[in-house]
Every structure is written in C-alpha cells, then in structure tokens.
Amino acid sequence: MIPALAFIVTAAETLFGVFLVLGWKTRVTAFVSGVLLTAFALAMTMALGVKALSILSVFSAAGEPFFWQLARSFPSAWTTDFDCADGRH
C-alpha cells in the first residue's frame, strides 16, 4: 500500500510541475501543488523531526506554489490561462 501511494504522490507532483512549467491552469495547479508539498512537509516533520526540514527546506518549497497562486500579475502572457476580464490569453 505504501509503495503504491509513494508512486502516486511522486507522479502527481511531477505532473503538477509540468503543468506549472507549461502554464496550464496555473492557479489551480499551484494551489494543489502547495497542498501536496505541505502534506509532505508535515509527514516529514512527524517522521524525521524538525531538524531534517531545516536541512531540506521543504516548507520553503511548499510556500512557493501558494505565492504563485496568489500573485496579482500571474498568469502572464506566457501562460495558457484565459483571463475573462480583459479577454486575453
């Protein structure tokens, strides 16, 4: 059960990274990626202790997708998201 779950989570995080690089559904993908990384960071805290998190900087990696999800100037012209307010891609 655990190896299958580890494979699914790894595949999901890889897919979210590809979606963010391609600019596809950036706000939703960033939020879900941040939630997944936060869950990973909390699991690491319980399993390895707080010191491992400071070495591996998991919480800073988990915070970045939330920044991109909340940024006002994002999505930009480089993404495939559609902004209904001004009708641009």
65-88 pLDDT tens trace: 777 767 766 555 555 555 555 555
* 25-40 confidence digits (pLDDT tens): 888 888 898 888 888 8
- In sequence order, what are the residues at sequence separation of 6 or more whose Cβ sits closer than 8 angstroms to the Cβ of residue 41? 53, 58, 59, 61, 62
SS3 23: coil
Q: How many residues comprise the chain?
A: 89
* 40-63 confidence digits (pLDDT tens): 888 888 888 887 777 777 777 878
> H/E element holding 89?
none
